[in-house]
Copies of this chain bind each other. A is one copy, B any other.
């Protein structure tokens, strides 16, 4: 009855849903404050006050027909121009509005980028562990995901990239800062990826794209810098979302940036604008586009996440767990003390701790904790983690 492609999704969905339902039951039974739910990346920081003010001002100052009406499928020209100028200010670039296509969030940016370039059977290389929705996104266009190794510190294994890139490769997805590991790839990493890809482009005589998924770009700690990939590689498309930076995940607002340096950029932009249209989205939601224009220079409350990051990382290390210090995003990647991390997740549930098994990100043997929760949740969880650690004979 349902399409063949969706059958595994429905089957898989039941597992995920079972997990969520169990979480819901725990909260019902023990009270929300006694459940330590680190499973979802739903920001716990409210949108900045400027967002509310922007909405009020728009309703007061702008014409309702304009605010809620159709515009160019790529988005309002003035919004795109403002965002291009904001990027130019931050990255020292010289984009204009035409380089941006407003999208229904980063998920949609990625889908638009993939639809724009992928033909049936094309390979898309992704450094593992990675956000598993990518598999569905690539499958939407009948592409084939080829996982690429990362090193012990979860930065890309460029030698493995060189091995796997071929004339079947159409794109490489980069997610920096990374979900689920919290790792930030520095300039050297990006340069070495670009080198391999330029070689492959040269050798195959075909465009190979970097599709850069950057919803966490503004969420970095300890002065970490996120390289701007188009500075290093021409055929790059950058997907961005305001979900995390402005705490607007439900609003579905982001953009896809295609630089003039991309081969045949004008056609690429036109095709991507068409892909956005015929995906059924037609255009990104209008009012919230206009809000983003007015909040283009708003910043995330990075201190909040940083406090949670330190508290959780230090707390778990003190319990004896092995963690990767996150340099960006709001995820902590923790080594499971037993080989099958699903057992570890199950054990944690006894203490009302919810975390996601690493195999949900192609990273078995690890678990992911999303620390975009309240500070109290982090604080109160540490005692529970200590008890959990004791079960594994960890030093306490």
B133/A278 in contact, CB under 8 A: yes
- Provide the residues of chain B in CB contact with A67, threshold 8 Å: 250
* A154→B279 CA distance, assembly (Å): 28
Given contacts A141-B3, A274-B6, whether A279 and B282 have CB atoms under 8 Å apart is no
A68 touching B250, Cβ below 8 Å: yes
Verify if A107 is at the interface (C-beta below 8 Å from B): yes
Q: How many copies does the complex hold?
A: 2
Residue A338 lies at the interface, judged by CB distance under 8 Å to chain B = no
- The answer to whether residues A117 and B70 also contact, given A6-B274, A9-B278, A133-B278 and a CB cut-off of 8 A, is no
CB pair B59 A286 closer than 8 Å: no
* Set B59, B104, B142, B248: member contacting A252, Cβ < 8 A: B104
Q: In the complex, which residue of chain B has the Cβ closest to the Cβ of A52?
A: B59
Interface pair B46/A64, CB less than 8 Å apart: yes
Measured CA separation A70–B44 after assembly (Å): 11
Tell me if A247 and B280 are in contact (CB < 8 A).
Answer: no
Q: Is the CB of B249 within 8 A of A68?
A: yes
Q: Judge if A285 is at the interface, Cβ distance under 8 Å.
A: yes
Report which of B115, B263, B288 forms a contact with A3, defined as CB distance below 8 A.
B115
Distance from A116 Cβ to chain B, minimum over Cβ atoms (Å): 6
> CB < 8 Å: which of B1, B105, B111, B267 contacts A263?
B1
Contact B282 A105 (CB under 8 A): yes
Contact with B along A260-282 (1 / 0, CB 8 A): 00011001101100110111111
Whether A47 sits at the interface, judged by CB under 8 Å, is yes
A223 contacts partner chain B, Cβ-Cβ < 8 Å: no
- Could you say which residues of chain B place their CB within 8 Å of the CB of A118? 3
> Is residue A56 within 8 Å, beta carbon to beta carbon, of the partner chain?
yes
Q: Does A137 interact with chain B (Cβ within 8 Å)? A: yes
Residues in B neighbouring A18, C-beta threshold 8 A? none
Contact flags (1/0) for A1-32 with B, using CB distance below 8 Å? Answer: 11111100110010000000000000000000
| A9 / chain B contacts, CB cutoff of 8 Å | 271, 274-275, 278
Specify the chain B residue showing the minimal Cβ separation from A136: B278
Q: Is A210 an interface residue, CB under 8 A from the partner?
A: no
Specify which chain B residues have a CB less than 8 angstroms from the CB of A381 in the assembled complex: none
| A360 beta carbon closer than 8 Å to chain B | no
Most buried by B among A3, A55, A288: A3
Q: A52 CA to B60 CA in the complex, in Å? A: 10
Distance in angstroms from A211 CB to nearest chain B CB is 12
Whether, in the assembled complex, A110 has its beta carbon less than 8 Å from a beta carbon of chain B, the answer is yes
Among B5, B119, B280, which residue has its beta carbon within 8 angstroms of that of A112?
Answer: B280
User: Beyond A1-B263, A271-B2, is A47–B68 a contact (Cβ under 8 Å)?
Assistant: yes
A251 touches B (CB below 8 Å):
yes
Q: Nearest Cβ distance between residue A123 and chain B, in whole angstroms?
A: 14
CB of A157 to closest CB in B, whole Å: 28
A393 within 8 Å of B (CB atoms)? no
- Kindly report which residue of chain B lies nearest to residue A45, judged by CB atoms: B65
Residue positions of A touching B, CB distance < 8 A: 1-6, 9-10, 13, 40, 42-44, 46-47, 51-52, 55-56, 59, 63-65, 67-71, 103-105, 107-112, 115-119, 133, 136-137, 140-142, 207, 247-253, 263-264, 267-268, 270-271, 274-275, 277-288
- 8 sampled A-B residue pairs with Cβ under 8 A: A1-B268, A3-B119, A6-B115, A55-B59, A67-B250, A108-B281, A251-B285, A287-B287
7 smallest A-B Cβ distances: which pairs? A250-B286, A111-B280, A136-B278, A108-B280, A107-B280, A2-B271, A46-B64
